[in-house]
Amino acid sequence: MHKIPVTVVTGFLGSGKTTLVRHLLQNNQGRRIAVLVNEFGEVGIDGELLRSCQVCNDEETPNGSGPNIVELANGCLCCTVQEEFLPTMQELLKRRDEIDCIVIETSGLALPKPLVQAFRRPEIRTGATVDGVVTVVDGDALAQGRIVSNLDALNTQRQADDSLEHETPIEELFEDQLACADMVLLAKTDVIQGEDTCSRIQQWLQQQTPSGVKVVPCHHGQISPDILLGFNAAVEDNLDSRPSHHDQEEDHDHDDNINSICVELEQTFDPNTLIERLQVLVQQQEIYRIKGFVAVPNKAMRLVLHGVGQRFDQFYDRLWQTSEPRLTQLVFIGQGLDSHHITEAISA
């Protein structure tokens, strides 16, 4: 039987992975795509965002085999091959006749190579192959001389991994993501000031990638599926050509102090007022990422809010459904976060 091609989408928190996958699903050109969203949080915010693109069915399929989008609530795919990832892949392989390809959106903490290595396991090796690895890079951050929007926060996050003994773990993770890529997408080019700056960033990034790997500018995740899919790389069979700083590491565990907190409030918020409170909160606590939905007064539509560092993006994705409560629901990812303190700070 044929192997289902799997595309792995990797990149730092806030680089634009979910936006890319949303666009792919909205412009699938007839492809039947299964998505695995590697969540770090109690609430599947990214999974819900993908469902809201209105081309995904979150109801049971006709044969009762489950939803089209499968969310993993664990912190890192490559750490849980024995737990959620492996059985999830096995379930998807049972539905191979309904699926043309699989897309895995990794968490911002995940190393791409250990995930690819999982496809060597006999339970899934005969049924799936890693068609290609796509690394999403934040062009706006690079334009400001950083490799991630909030470098200090991510550096703290990576330092919390006790198994890493590197002087520059952030740079090495970035290099690992590039070294494993079949294509690099330069995201957020629309906010880079000046064509010369954008061109210079693209040239620098090209020098950091393996020979033959293309760096492609990408605006709001808008790239043709014909470009994003179909590398036929069988990556799991060619990992020796993709060196990693972590090749000698058996496994890795993220520090237990890194946690996620879900705050759910019946309160409505003016978006600007809420963002001001969140920006103050980010300065006071080790918060790496904020994402969720906001109920706005006198608005029939739901507001989606993403925050990385001091930068917040917002947009209205759909109407509130009559059957759902209009709640403000935010997931905070960080270190040693206290739910009570955060709730008080934003609801004051």
Stretch among 96-100, 267-271, 309-313 having the lowest mean pLDDT: 309-313
Span 172-220, pLDDT tens digits: 788 888 999 999 999 988 888 777 888 889 899 999 888 889 999 988 8
pLDDT of residue 109: 66
Residue with more model confidence, 44 or 290: 290
Stretch among 5-19, 30-44, 115-129, 195-209 having the lowest mean pLDDT: 30-44
pLDDT of residue 299: 94
Stretch among 60-69, 185-194, 310-319 having the lowest mean pLDDT: 60-69
Domain ranges for the chain? 4-241, 258-347
Element (H, E) at 87: helix 86-94
Percent of the chain with pLDDT over 70: 78
Span 231-258, pLDDT tens digits: 888 898 887 777 676 665 554 444 556 6
Stretch among 57-61, 139-143, 265-269 having the lowest mean pLDDT: 57-61
Percent of the chain with pLDDT over 90: 24
CA distance 32 to 69: 11
| 258-347 topology per CATH | Hypothetical Protein Yjia; Chain: A;domain 2 (3.30.1220)
Stretch among 87-91, 145-149, 279-283, 306-310 having the lowest mean pLDDT: 145-149
Residue 312's alpha-carbon distances to 220, 305, 306, 317, in angstroms, are 15, 7, 6, 16
Span 321-343, pLDDT tens digits: 998 899 999 988 887 888 899 99
Arch. (CATH architecture) of 4-241:
3-Layer(aba) Sandwich (3.40)
Would you give the distance in Å from CA 100 to the centre of its chain?
21
pLDDT of residue 76: 38
Cα-only R_g, the chain: 20
Contact 333, 40 (CB under 8 A): yes
pTM: predicted TM-score of the whole model, two decimal places: 0.76
Residue 226 burial (CB count, 10 A)? 8
pLDDT of residue 325: 92
pLDDT of residue 167: 46
- Give ∠ CA 2-132-120 in degrees, rounded to 5: 60
CA distance 8 to 107: 11
